[in-house]
Amino acid sequence: MNEHAMPLPIAADHPAYAGHFPGQPILPGVVLLDAALHALGARQGMQAMPGILGSAQLKSAKFHSPAQPGEALILHATELPAGGLRFDIRCGDRSVASGSVFFSQGPPA
């Protein structure tokens, strides 16, 4: 299986931190997954181009620990035999989130 690692940059001043949660900011899971899906989609050759639709089917997602502003997140991806990707988002030795996703070109079925 082929494994890839790439930085998952999320600005320390991302607006989502302001309301989630005041005084003790953590990155909302939806923002984390959105960044990961965009990075994984780009790796798979999926680009947001007008007139070309693609979809991502998130098969599983688990949040292990919170990501705080300024933490260096690394996205690890491993190709699955069925064609999807298994991903693990890490901060150093700590797992932040993991899951699996499948991408397809064209309009969703």
Catalytic pick from 20, 38, 64, 76?
20
Question: How many folded domains does the chain comprise?
Answer: 1
Q: What is the domain range of residue 76?
A: 3-17+24-105
Of 48, 93, 53, 99, give the one whose Cα is nearest residue 74. 93
Task: List, edge to edge, every strand of the sheet that includes 54-63.
Answer: 3-7, 74-79, 85-91, 94-105, 54-63
Mean pLDDT of 81-97: 95
Active site residue 20: yes
The two three-digit tokens of residue 45, written as one number: 């050759």
E-state strands within the chain: 3-7, 54-63, 74-79, 85-91, 94-105
- The pLDDT mean for the chain works out to 87
Domain of 51: which CATH number?
A: 3.10.129.10
The verdict on pTM exceeding 0.75 is: yes
Q: What's the pLDDT tens digit per position in 12-52?
A: 999 999 888 888 999 999 999 999 998 988 877 665 544 44
